[in-house]
Structure 1
Amino acid sequence: MEELEITQSNPGAYSDDAVVTLDWKEHIRLRPGMYIGKLGDGSSQDDGIYVLIKEIIDNAIDEFVMGNGRTIEVAIKDQRVTIRDYGRGIPLGKVIDCVSKINTGAKYDSKVFKKAVGLNGVGSKAVNALSGSFTAQSIREGKTKIVEFERGEIISDLPEEPSNLRSGTIISFVPDEKVFGHYHFISEYIEQMLWNYVFLNNGLTIWYNGTKMQAKNGLLDLLQRNINGNPLVYPIIQIKDEDFECAFTHSGRQYGEEYYSFVNGQHTTQGGTHQAAFREALVKTIRDFYKKDFDPSDIRQCMVAAISIKVQEPVFESQTKTKLGSQLMEPDGQSIRNYIGDILKKQLDNYLHMNSDVAEALLRRIMQSEKERKDFANIKKLAKESVKKVSLHNKKLRDCRIHYNSNDNRRLETTLFITEGDSASGSITKSRDVNTQAVFSLKGKPLNCYGLTKRVVYENDEFNLLQSALNIEEGVENLRYNYIVIATDADVDGMHIRLLMLTFFLQFYPDVVKSGHLYILQTPLFRVRNKKKTIYCYTDEERVSAIAELGPNPEITRFKGLGEISPEEFKNFIGPNMRLDPILLRKLSEIPDLLSFYMGRNTPDRQVFIMDNLRMEEDLVNAEA
C-alpha cells in the first residue's frame, strides 16, 4: 500500500478526507512512469510495452543464471505475449503473492538470486496491473497452479492440479489499451532485446515465434552482428573474467564511440559506472603499453565496444534500470573502477604483447585520430566560437526547458523536431509543449555529405549548429533529446530532405540511429469532416474509410505541406498520440553500402532500381479509382 497526499484546489479542503490510500494496482496504474519509464505506442524501443516483456523475461533469465532451465520461449500473437521458462517454477502457494503483492519475491534473499536482473519483486506486479489480461501458471514438482487477472484484479483462481509438464513458469498478458492507447509491437525491437539476452548468457536458447536464437561467443558475437558492414582496423578483442566481459575493436569508417553495456544481463542504454570505468581503464592501459600520453579522445575515436558486468545487489537510477549507479562490487567492497581497471591492465596488456600485428594496427588508428583531431583543431575552435556567438540568438533552435541528459522525470519525453523552412517550424513552434519539445529549422535542403569527412560538420554552419543543439560531438552520452524527429512535407522535396538528414546521421553519428533516437514524423495527408465530426487521414485507405463513415459529400482537404496545418490542428499530431516511424537498421543493413547506393554517384544499379519502382501519375490515379 502507498499513501498519497492529494490536496484539492481549495487550500481549506486539506483535511482527513483529502488523504487517500491506493492499493498496489491503483498506484501502478496512476503512476506507471515510476515503474516502466514511459508509455508510448511501441514506436520507440524504450516504450512501456517492451518494458513489460523485459520484466517477465528478466525473471526467466534469473532462473537460467541460477542454473535452472536452458530454454525460454517467447510468442506474440494478436497483442498477446506469452513467455515460458523451464526453471523451478514459482512456489505454488505463492503464485498470487508473487504477481500481485508489492515487495514480495525471492530476490531479497541474495542466496537464492545472487546476481539478479529483476529487482525486489516489482516487475511482474507492474505487468499484471498494466495488462488488460494477465495469466500466471506455475508447474512444480508434478503439480500446476493457474491464476487469471484483469487489470490486476483476480478473476479466476484455479486449485492446484496434477501435471506432467516440465517444471517452469508461463506468463501470458495483453497490455491494457486503456493505459497504452492504440499500440503496436515492432518485431525488430523485440528481436534485438532477445538477441542481447542470448549473447550475454552462453548456453541459453530463446525461441521467438518459432525462430531459434543462440550464441556461442558472447559479446564477440554481439559486436559482429552490430558492426553493420564497417571495416575493422583489427580483429575484435575479447576479454573475460568471472564477473566481467568486454569485446571491442576500432572501425575504419565511422566516427565517435559506440557502446553496448550491460549489468546482470540488463541493457544499460545510458551506461553508468561500469562504462565509465571501462573507458578510463582502456585509456590508461593503452597509454602504459605504448608509453605515450595519448589524448583519450584519440584512443577511443571510432571504437565499438560491448561491456558486461555482474554485480550483486546493483543500484540503478530507476526501475527501468538503464544506468548503473553502483560504485562497489559486493560483497568484497572493491570498487567497480578498480575491478575493471585491474582486469584490463593485466589481460589487455598481455594480449597486445602477444599480438604485435594488432598492437601496430591499433597504434596506427590512434595516430590517425590524433592527426585528424589536430587538423580539425582550428576549424573546431572557429566553429565553437561561431556557435557561442549565435547561441543566445539562435534563430534555428527554439529550445525546450527539459533535456534528456537531465534528471527530470519527463526527460524521456524530450523531442527535437527538425523541420524544413519557417512555415512548418512556425506551426510546430506555436503548438509544441515548451517543456519537452524543441524545434530546429533548416533553411532548405541540407548539403549531401556522403563521402565527405567530418570536417564538413564544422565548416557547414547548419550542421555545426545542429550538432551543438544535440550535444553529440563527443557521442550520444550527453544527448539533449530522446527523440530526434525529422518533420518534412510528404512530397518529393520533403523526402529528399529526409534522405539528406539520414545521410548526415549515418555518416557521422550512426550511434544516434543504432541507439534508437531517430524518427520520421507522420502527419495527415487529408482532413475529412462534416458538421459533426473531423477525421484526419494518414493514407488513402484511411481517407476512403473516413468518407464511408461520414456519409455523402464530406469536406475533404488535402494537406500539401506542414505549413498548411494550423497550430491548433498541429497540437493533435505532436501530442500524446503523435505517430512516429523509427529509423531501424536491420541485421543485414550495411551503412557504407546503403549510403553508397542511395546517396553516391548515379550508378546503373540505382537507375535500374528507380525504373523498377517508379509509379507514373496515371498509375496512382487508377489505383485511387
Structure 2
Amino acid sequence: MAVENNFEYTEDSIKSLDWKEHIRLRPGMYIGKLGDGSAQDDGIYVLVKEVIDNCIDEHMMGYGKTIDVKITDHRVEVRDYGRGIPLGKVVDCVSKINTGGKYDSGAFQKSVGLNGVGTKAVNALSNYFKVQSFREGQTKVAEFKQGNIVNDNQVISSSGRNGTLIVFEPDETVFKNFHFIPEYLNDLIWNYVFLNAGLTINFNGQRFHSENGLKDLLERKTDVESLRYPIIHLKGNDIEVALTHCNQYGEEYYSFVNGQYTTQGGTHLAAFREAVVRTVRDFYKKDFDATDVRASIVGAIAVRVQEPVFESQTKTKLGSQNVGPDGPTMRTFINDFLKTELDNYLHRNSEVADALLKRILQSERERKEIAGIKKLANDRAKKANLHNKKLRDCRLHYNDKKGERTDETMIFITEGDSASGSITKSRDVQTQAVFSLRGKPLNCFNLTKKVVYENEEFNLLQHALNIEDGIEGLRYRKIIIATDADVDGMHIRLLLLTFFLQFFPELIKQGHVYILDTPLFRVRNKKETIYCYSEEEKRAAIEKLGNKPEITRFKGLGEISPEEFGKFIGDDIRLDPIILNKETKINSLLTFFMGKNSPERQEFIVENLRVEKDLVEELPIKELPDEEVTEKEEVPGELSV
C-alpha cells in the first residue's frame, strides 16, 4: 500500500544557507563534538586551537617569537606579533569561507590550517568575537556576534607592534554549561612550545618555553626515574622523534603533523610503530615479536608535510599517504629516517642498546609466562560474551570505521544490580553501554598482568573494552565509573583506577576515564524540582524555592528512579575527568593509596581525621529553614589523580 505524502518538492524547497548559518546548524562538521569541556577534544578547545594555529603558522614562517594568551572562565584573548592580517582583508579573513593566505603555498609552505574555515567557525560559534590587526603603524578593529558584524571600524593610526589580536566568548547556547579545565589548556600550550623551538607563549601569566622539543615533552609525560634508559632524541629535515621504554604496561604515543596534535594517530604513527620494530630487529639481528619490542614504549613523533590530508576538520587523524605531492610515502620517509638515525644511535650508545635489549627480553618472558592462562581466559571470555550478563552493550562503538556518533559512545561501570538497572532502563541504547560489577573488585596493586586473566571480572571488563592488545580497538570513547558517593563507592573507584593505572595507564593519559557526577539532593515544591550536586547548590535551591520545600538526599544510585536517571546521563551529563598531572608518579600514587600498611597513608589519615562532631559543627544549620536534620555525610569533591 502506497503511503500518501503531501509534501511538495518545488523550487521553494531548495534552500541555501550562508556561511554562519551552516556552521551554527552543523557545528560538528567544523569543530567535532561540542561537549562541555570535560573532554580534551571538546569543541571549546578546538576553538582555542584554531586561533592559536594561525599564530603558530606565522611563527613557522619566521614572524613573531612570542604569543600572549589569556583565558578566563568564558573569554579567550590571543595576541601574536607576526605580520598582522592585511588591513583591507581583516573582515574577510574571519567571515568569508575559503578566504585566507594559506592557499598560496609560497606564503605558508607547511601550515596546519589550509581550508580557510578555522577562524570563521570560531566567529560563527561565539557570542562575541573581535579581530584587530596591527600593521605598519595602523590598526583596524571589527566585532561580531554569532558571525554577524556589529562594528566595522575604520583604519586608524596605532603605536602597537605588528600582529593580530583575537578575542572571543563561546556561545553558551551552543556550548551548554561549558568550562575550561586548566590541565587541558596547559597541555595544549606545552605541545605548541615543544613543537616550535624558540617560541614563547605567555599563558595567564605563566611563561611556556622549550629548548629540547619532543625530549622535553617525554620528560614531562613520564616519570624519569622509572625509565629503562635515557630518552633517545633524533631530529632530521621535517621529522623529529623521541622514544624510551619504562616499566608500565601498554604503549604510549604522542604524534604531531605540522604542529597539530593528532590524538587519533594516522599514517605517520602507524609508520613510526612499524619502523621502530623493523630497526630494532635489524640492529639485534633477531626476529623479535612486535609486541615485545613495543611493550612499555613511550614515543613521540612530529612530521611536517606539504598539503596534509586529515580525516576530519578537527585534524585528529592524518590520512596522507605521502609526505608531499612529489615526496616519498610516509612509510618510506619515516622508515628510512629511523633505519639510519636510530641504528646509528644504538651503535654509538651501547649502554642504551643493552638496556633496550633487556626490556625486550623481559617483555618476551612475561608474554610467554601468561600465554597458557591467557588462552584459557580468552576462551572463557568468548563463551561468556555470548551470554554476558555483566555487559549491556550499545549499538555503536568508538572503533567503528565509519559511523556517526561514535565520539558519543560511553560505558558505565556500576556497582550492583540496582544502580545498573536504573542506568540500563534510562540509557541511550545507541551509544551507552553498562557493565555491572559484582561487589568490590580485586586490589591489583603490585600484581602482574597475569591477574587480569586469572580474575574473571577483570578479564571480562578488558574484553568488553576491547583493550587486550592495546587501546587502538577501544570500543567506547568514555569509560565512566558510576559508583555511590559514599565510602564504599569511593573505595570501588580507587580499585578500578588502580586496575587502569596498573595495566592500562594510556586510557587515563589519553583522557578516556571519567567519574559520573550525580546529584546528592533533590529540592522541590509543587511547581519546580531542582537537582543539587553539592551543599552550596542545595542552599541556593532552598533559597530560590522558599516555603520549606521537600528535600531528598540520594544515598545511592539505586535510589534514583530510571525516569530521573535519564536526566543525569543525557545532554546535561556531568563528568569529572581523571587527569594525571606532571607531578603525578603512578607507582608512588598507587603505593600511597593501595599499598599494604603504608606508613605515609596511616599518618595522613591520623592528621586529617574528621569525626562526626566536626562535620556537624561545620554545617551552618541556622541558615537553613526547618527541616529534618539527619547525619551529615561528607560529600566527596571532584576526584582527580
Normalization by structure 2: what TM-score? 0.95
> What's the counterpart of residue 6 of structure 1?
none
User: Would the aligned equivalents of 1:92 and 1:144 in 2 still touch at CA under 8 Å?
Assistant: yes
* 2:360 equivalent to 1:366: yes
> What's the counterpart of residue 370 of structure 2?
376
1:229-272 CA distance string (max 9 Å, x none): 56111111111111111100000x20010000001111101110
Partner-residue secondary structure (3-state), 1:589: coil
> What's the counterpart of residue 32 of structure 1?
27
> What's the counterpart of residue 75 of structure 1?
70
User: Would the aligned equivalents of 2:73 and 2:180 in 1 still touch at CA under 8 Å?
Assistant: no
> What's the counterpart of residue 624 of structure 2?
none
Shift of 1:171: 0.2
In structure 1, C-alpha distance between the alignment counterparts of 2:395 and 2:82, rounded to whole Å: 47
For residue 426 of structure 1, the aligned residue among 385, 409, 421 is 421
For residue 138 of structure 2, the aligned residue among 136, 143, 153 is 143
In structure 2, C-alpha distance between the alignment counterparts of 1:45 and 1:292, rounded to whole Å: 40
Q: How many residues align structurally?
A: 616
Gap runs ≥5 in structure 1: 1-8
Shift of 1:383: 1.2
Q: Which amino acid aligns with 2:235?
A: K
> What's the counterpart of residue 448 of structure 2?
453
* 2:329 equivalent to 1:332: no
> What's the counterpart of residue 149 of structure 2?
154
Shift of 1:551: 1.1
Q: Which amino acid aligns with 1:83?
A: V
> What's the counterpart of residue 3 of structure 1?
none
* 2:495 equivalent to 1:500: yes
Q: Which amino acid aligns with 2:133?
A: S
* 2:174 equivalent to 1:179: yes
Shift of 1:12: 2.5
- Listed as ranges, the matches of 1:178-217 within 5 Å are 178-217=173-212
> What's the counterpart of residue 634 of structure 2?
none
> What's the counterpart of residue 628 of structure 2?
none
- Listed as ranges, the matches of 1:58-73 within 5 Å are 58-73=53-68
Partner-residue secondary structure (3-state), 1:329: coil
Partner-residue secondary structure (3-state), 1:103: coil
* 2:164 equivalent to 1:169: yes
User: Would the aligned equivalents of 1:230 and 1:592 in 2 still touch at CA under 8 Å?
Assistant: no
In structure 1, C-alpha distance between the alignment counterparts of 2:381 and 2:300, rounded to whole Å: 34
Shift of 1:11: 5.5
Shift of 1:78: 4.0
Normalization by structure 1: what TM-score? 0.97
The ranges of structure 1 where at least 4 consecutive aligned residues each deviate by more than 4 angstroms after the TM superposition are none
User: Would the aligned equivalents of 2:307 and 2:325 in 1 still touch at CA under 8 Å?
Assistant: no
In structure 1, C-alpha distance between the alignment counterparts of 2:425 and 2:449, rounded to whole Å: 34
User: Would the aligned equivalents of 1:82 and 1:171 in 2 still touch at CA under 8 Å?
Assistant: yes
Gap runs ≥5 in structure 2: 622-641
Q: Which amino acid aligns with 2:612?
A: E
For residue 98 of structure 2, the aligned residue among 100, 103, 106 is 103
In structure 1, C-alpha distance between the alignment counterparts of 2:51 and 2:487, rounded to whole Å: 44
For residue 511 of structure 2, the aligned residue among 495, 513, 516 is 516
* 2:587 equivalent to 1:592: yes
Partner-residue secondary structure (3-state), 1:21: coil
In structure 2, C-alpha distance between the alignment counterparts of 1:228 and 1:430, rounded to whole Å: 43
In structure 1, C-alpha distance between the alignment counterparts of 2:426 and 2:610, rounded to whole Å: 35
Shift of 1:355: 1.0
For residue 275 of structure 1, the aligned residue among 269, 272, 279 is 269
Q: Which amino acid aligns with 1:498?
A: R
Partner-residue secondary structure (3-state), 1:28: helix
- Listed as ranges, the matches of 1:222-621 within 5 Å are 222-228=217-223, 231-251=226-246, 253-406=247-400, 407-621=402-616
User: Would the aligned equivalents of 1:229 and 1:590 in 2 still touch at CA under 8 Å?
Assistant: no
In structure 2, C-alpha distance between the alignment counterparts of 1:461 and 1:588, rounded to whole Å: 34
> What's the counterpart of residue 5 of structure 1?
none
1:284-340 CA distance string (max 9 Å, x none): 111111111110000000000011010111000000111000000113231010000
Q: Which amino acid aligns with 1:231?
A: S
Partner-residue secondary structure (3-state), 1:201: coil
1:482-513 CA distance string (max 9 Å, x none): 11100000011000000001111111111100
In structure 2, C-alpha distance between the alignment counterparts of 1:220 and 1:34, rounded to whole Å: 34
Shift of 1:147: 0.2
In structure 2, C-alpha distance between the alignment counterparts of 1:141 and 1:495, rounded to whole Å: 60
Q: Which amino acid aligns with 2:371?
A: A
Q: Which amino acid aligns with 1:405?
A: N
Shift of 1:603: 2.2
Partner-residue secondary structure (3-state), 1:13: coil
Partner-residue secondary structure (3-state), 1:177: coil
User: Would the aligned equivalents of 1:417 and 1:437 in 2 still touch at CA under 8 Å?
Assistant: yes
User: Would the aligned equivalents of 2:51 and 2:119 in 1 still touch at CA under 8 Å?
Assistant: yes
User: Would the aligned equivalents of 2:67 and 2:202 in 1 still touch at CA under 8 Å?
Assistant: yes
Identity over the aligned pairs, expressed in percent? 68
For residue 121 of structure 2, the aligned residue among 126, 146, 150 is 126
Shift of 1:142: 1.3
In structure 1, C-alpha distance between the alignment counterparts of 2:404 and 2:262, rounded to whole Å: 18
